[in-house]
A and B are shown apart, each in its own frame.
Chain A
Amino acid sequence: MSALTSLAQLRAAVDGIAQPLATVRHCHVAEAPLVLVPLKLAGEAAAPLAVLVGAARDDASLLVVPQPRNRDLRFQFAAEFAKLVLNHIETSRGGVEELPPGKDGDERIRYGDAPQLLVPNRGGVGFLRLLGRSTRFRSTEGPYAVDPAVPVLGRWLTWFADRYDHPGSSLLRAMTEVLRLHWATGQSSLEDGNLAALLGWIDPPDGLDGPAAAARAEDPVTCPPAGPATDPTFDNEVLAPAIAAYDRSGGDHRAEERLRGAIAGQLEPTWELMWRAVGLLRALPEGASVPGRWERDRDAFTYYHQTFGEAYPQARRDPPVRAARRLHDLERAQDAYDAQRAFDDPLVMAEYRLAGQAFGGVVTDCEPDRLDETGKRPKLRPHLRVGTADPVRLDVGTTVCNAARPALKGKIVELAAGSVLLELTGGMGRKLTAEPGSVPRPGERVCFTSLSEGSFGAAKFPDREDTPWTHGGPPEEYVPTDEDAEEEWS
């Protein structure tokens, strides 16, 4: 949050409509994302009640557990759900790209595409995570045998939930968060957590303004919650009697249909909202660094898919070195992601200008052919003076680059009120005269920043064999036990 975002919120509140926080789309949107709207039984950690799932607006599958307390019905649900999700994963791979061999001569490939899962909100991510945890250790043999697809689903869901934590990854996304990255509303973040209210501000239905649409969205009768928690009144007045009727009927088909109908009524409005949101995101031009990040996602997917057969289910807890490495990776990814968004989008860069880490303005003076002849060989070092009204908080000597063309680099040599003098150091070609067009001319608008897109040193962590004893010594490879497989799910 910053004064800039807050200002957008104020304007949204006054104008009654959401205001842009981005001018490009900062996430990948798959051609056919798998949209999931899950519901769970209130009071339980991860007892699935239903899910509406599908990769196209007109192709929704509704899966329901008619008695969520019945273990057999739960696993039946998990098996059906697994088939849908796994089928989507297998059909979203695209072609195979051959990559140059790795350092040790390994063959390397990358799938041309990857599956993208979209859920309405953070709660949906948490639900998938827990569902993954509660199914990945299941045994497909012995007294508690489950359908072979169930533990496979568990491992994939765990993997997706893990990727969700990775800044900039688009493999699993919560819609409210993605929308909030692109628009500011005139309500608080708490209310923005309600997908219907948030979309009401961004794209109000005909005849309504943002506040009116959001107010309507808060009525659980017109706009049922987007899950995974259900509306308590629905639970008490509709769901409980319908489940009881199903129980009394001894699993009668008509009773089940009635239950499914009631649940479908709770899920369908959110389903529509999800696809409307997908449409809104698609309408935004894609940020320049989005394909690169999606490529990293595809790499991660390719690797997990390729090694799936050789690996065990993910451990219950990360061993310490892995946890530390992961934390480090996530922090690096966050820094890179933040910087990339700023380079892609002047509205995000404006945040850095406000914070003094970037400055924009008009070139007032320019010496494009200036040479530095103090060394052995002369170097091309053009001077550029930028007039700016921004509150620059950078020191003399800081390296900066051009936001529109990061290859153009320079050093701050002088700071005065309202202007910055730069010595350009790179990105102008190899000759002693700058490539035509590479040095901005007087009158041109430019923006320079101290941000850089990458160049983070690699993490130095001990290999797992060398885990210090203070962190428990080398971890044992996690091998699931029988107890894992038999874990109660009640």
Chain B
Amino acid sequence: MTETAPDLDRLRGGAPPRNHDARTIAALTANPGCARRGVMDAAGVDKDAVARELGFPSPFGQSQFAITRGNAFEAQVKADGCAELLTLLRDGLGLAVPEVAYDDLEVVAGNEGRELRHARTRRLLARALESGEGTLFDHPLLRLEIAGQLAYLEPDVIAFQLAGRLHVIEIKSFAVVDGQAEPEQVAAAARQSAVYVLALRRLVSELGHDPARVSHEVFLVCPENFSNRPVAAPLDVRPQLAVLERQLARLTRIDRILDALPGDLTFGPGAALADAVRTVEARYAPECMAGCEMAFFCRDEARACGATGALGRSVRDDLGGVDTIGTALALADGSLDPSDDLAETAAQLRTAARLRDEALAAVRAETLAGAPTPEARGARDGAA
């Protein structure tokens, strides 16, 4: 345990830490500059519970139809020691897969069992790496250091060893129609798989092996067209890995953030919760909606203080990084003199405001005078 551990326990207000999954980690890299999220995630705070307590429940509900479908598809692919999966890998992808053993590592459940389960994952993987024998490990429990803290990762994937290399197999229930799936869903799967690949690589090197024994090629298993028939496709996640590693390295060090926070800070339930959360600086962007349970709370906060980021990153960029709506509008109407670094942005904004007003005024004047009809315009063109 690191020195910040006691602080982190207090931050959770006595609640047990939550496990990460690849979705939360992939989302973390989507907003690496957010201290609030960094602190809460590093401490394993149950953000969903916090958001609910604050009156901003996150809308990450799932339809039972989707859950049923996902589970049924996964169960089908994994039935009889992953018989269908092995057929896919052998026949569909033409891999020379020998006889394999199948181990499900989800046997010890509950948060208390995390260390135990992780130890078991380590043990089994160590043996498999030594022997080089083909093995399928279902639900390995991995660990990944996030902002100086170890986070447990509950991957819903299979680690599969083939010819001495480990591959990640991810089973998803979105359809691949005529060889194409929804790009956003594939992208999300690739981001998540990259998290697993990275965590597996860390584990493999801890075990004294070459991390390159974990392949950057993952296998995505999805239903084909409109059927339940699975189809497997290799997916190269090197780009996602590169982004992930860079972002994780850039994540603000949690201990440094913690140092600046009041010593008695806690995210336990109670009247002081909202203030406690506000103590840690956030950086809201609409992308948070897809990945962070705190999104509705942070959006409300961002809107209340007129943050341009709440309108979207592109707006913020268009405004040359001006943070608040009030400042941007004051620069646009000339009531605020820009600092040197904002001079260009201010000039651009003033021109934009002038052009907009001019165009609208011209149209208003025309409407008053009776707007020209398309025919009238055609007649004018006739002079050519």
Question: Quick check: is A410 within 8 A (CB to CB) of the other chain?
Answer: no
Q: Which B residue sits closest to A4, measured CB to CB? A: B352
Instruction: Give chain A residues whose Cβ lies under 8 Å from the Cβ of B2.
Output: none
CA of A317 to CA of B178 in the docked complex: distance in angstroms?
7
In the assembled complex, how far is the CB of residue B34 from the closest CB belonging to chain A, in whole angstroms?
17
Instruction: Give chain B residues whose Cβ lies under 8 Å from the Cβ of A8.
Output: 356
The answer to whether B358 and A232 touch across the interface, beta carbons within 8 angstroms, is no
Q: Which residues 419-441 in A have Cβ within 8 Å of B in the complex? A: 426-429, 435, 437-438
24 contacts between A and B (CB under 8 A): A1-B318, A2-B352, A7-B352, A10-B308, A10-B329, A14-B325, A20-B360, A23-B363, A43-B63, A43-B65, A43-B69, A45-B175, A45-B223, A45-B225, A189-B312, A211-B303, A240-B64, A288-B374, A347-B363, A350-B359, A353-B355, A406-B381, A488-B229, A490-B228
Instruction: Give chain B residues whose Cβ lies under 8 Å from the Cβ of A232.
Output: 61-63, 66
Instruction: Give chain A residues whose Cβ lies under 8 Å from the Cβ of B358.
Output: 346, 350, 360
Question: Quick check: is A307 within 8 A (CB to CB) of the other chain?
Answer: no
* Residue interface mask B338-369, A partner, CB < 8 A = 1: 00000000001101111110111011000000
Instruction: Give chain B residues whose Cβ lies under 8 Å from the Cβ of A45.
Output: 174-175, 177, 223, 225-226
Number of interface residues, chain B, beta carbon within 8 A = 61
Instruction: Give chain A residues whose Cβ lies under 8 Å from the Cβ of B384.
Output: 405, 407-408, 426-429, 438
In the assembled complex, how far is the CB of residue B38 from the closest CB belonging to chain A, in whole angstroms?
23
Q: Pick the contact of A487 from B226, B308, B362 — CB < 8 Å? A: B226
Instruction: Give chain B residues whose Cβ lies under 8 Å from the Cβ of A5.
Output: 318
- Shortest beta-carbon contacts, A-B, top 7: A407-B384, A43-B66, A43-B69, A45-B175, A488-B227, A42-B63, A232-B61
Instruction: Give chain B residues whose Cβ lies under 8 Å from the Cβ of A174.
Output: none
CA of A144 to CA of B229 in the docked complex: distance in angstroms?
18
Instruction: Give chain B residues whose Cβ lies under 8 Å from the Cβ of A38.
Output: none
Question: Quick check: is B82 within 8 A (CB to CB) of the other chain?
Answer: no
Q: Pick the contact of A188 from B174, B226, B310, B354 — CB < 8 Å? A: B310
Instruction: Give chain B residues whose Cβ lies under 8 Å from the Cβ of A389.
Output: 351, 354
Instruction: Give chain A residues whose Cβ lies under 8 Å from the Cβ of B62.
Output: 232
In the assembled complex, how far is the CB of residue B95 from the closest CB belonging to chain A, in whole angstroms?
25
Question: Quick check: is B89 within 8 A (CB to CB) of the other chain?
Answer: no
CA of A316 to CA of B226 in the docked complex: distance in angstroms?
14
Question: Quick check: is A349 within 8 A (CB to CB) of the other chain?
Answer: yes
CA of A130 to CA of B178 in the docked complex: distance in angstroms?
11
The answer to whether B329 and A14 touch across the interface, beta carbons within 8 angstroms, is yes
The answer to whether B63 and A285 touch across the interface, beta carbons within 8 angstroms, is no
| Known contacts A23-B363, A188-B310, A435-B383: A3-B227 contact under CB 8 Å | no
Q: Beyond the given A7-B352, A407-B381, A427-B383, could you list 20 further A-B residue pairs with CB under 8 A, ordered by the A residue number?
A: A2-B318, A4-B355, A5-B318, A10-B328, A41-B65, A42-B69, A44-B69, A45-B225, A188-B311, A190-B289, A232-B62, A236-B61, A354-B348, A360-B358, A389-B351, A389-B354, A405-B380, A405-B381, A405-B384, A489-B226
In the assembled complex, how far is the CB of residue A318 from the closest CB belonging to chain B, in whole angstroms?
11
Question: Quick check: is B179 within 8 A (CB to CB) of the other chain?
Answer: yes
The answer to whether A346 and B363 touch across the interface, beta carbons within 8 angstroms, is yes
Question: Quick check: is A191 within 8 A (CB to CB) of the other chain?
Answer: yes
| Known contacts A6-B319, A286-B374, A445-B362: A42-B311 contact under CB 8 Å | no
In the assembled complex, how far is the CB of residue A164 from the closest CB belonging to chain B, in whole angstroms?
16
Instruction: Give chain B residues whose Cβ lies under 8 Å from the Cβ of A170.
Output: none
Instruction: Give chain A residues whose Cβ lies under 8 Å from the Cβ of B360.
Output: 20, 23, 347
The answer to whether A6 and B61 touch across the interface, beta carbons within 8 angstroms, is no
The answer to whether B229 and A43 touch across the interface, beta carbons within 8 angstroms, is no
The answer to whether A6 and B225 touch across the interface, beta carbons within 8 angstroms, is no
Question: Quick check: is B131 within 8 A (CB to CB) of the other chain?
Answer: no
Question: Quick check: is B68 within 8 A (CB to CB) of the other chain?
Answer: yes
